[in-house]
Amino acid sequence: MEHGIDSDSHMGAQMILLNLRNRRDHRSRPLNRLSAENGVTLVETVVATGILLVAMSGLMSISFVATVTTENQGHLAARTTEYAQDKMEQLLVLAYGDSTSDTTVFPAVNAGGKGLAIGGSSPPSAAVAGYVDYLDVDGKLLGGGVNAPATWFYKRMWQITNPPGTTNLKQVTVTTTVAWSMGKTALPTSTVTTLKTFPF
């Protein structure tokens, strides 16, 4: 019997030692986890950076196209249309038979110009004196003449014609262009055309 008691106590002591060892191992696991090298490698970082750069370059090209389109078609084209309409309104207030008002200045003066006399030109033809004026980048009128001022940004050319087969009718066409556009694209241009009849 004694042998059985010693055996049981020996077994009990082994269980206690095993239990203490398991507790010690369990406490040391977080330390082992912290000291393990399970982080992101340099190769993974380089690959991720490369993917990010490819994606960003695609977005940058789209951003450039959007900026060019917004400036040329959203801003400059809208301004050319506005300035062409302004010139058209200035011409339409003239009498049908007016051939002397100078509309290259604002307000128009009653002498020294062409009024609504038949003539003028539209781009790409050369400008005709009395049928062209220039504005700066802010839309301020710089005057007329075939020689453009150094600071011009918008050029307005107009042409007055008699449509074939009509009497007492004039067709007035105003075209506005810009000096340059963003991104080396076609220059924004706006053309406005209307008819003026006698006696109005």
For 159-198, what is each residue's pLDDT tens digit? 999 999 988 999 999 999 999 887 777 888 999 999 999 9
Measured between alpha carbons, how far is 30 from 136 in angstroms, rounded to an integer? 73
pTM: 0.68
Position 1 scores a pLDDT of 45
Q: Which of 176, 125, 184 is nearest to 153 (CA)?
A: 176
Position 11 scores a pLDDT of 65
| Tokens found for residue 116 | 């609504």
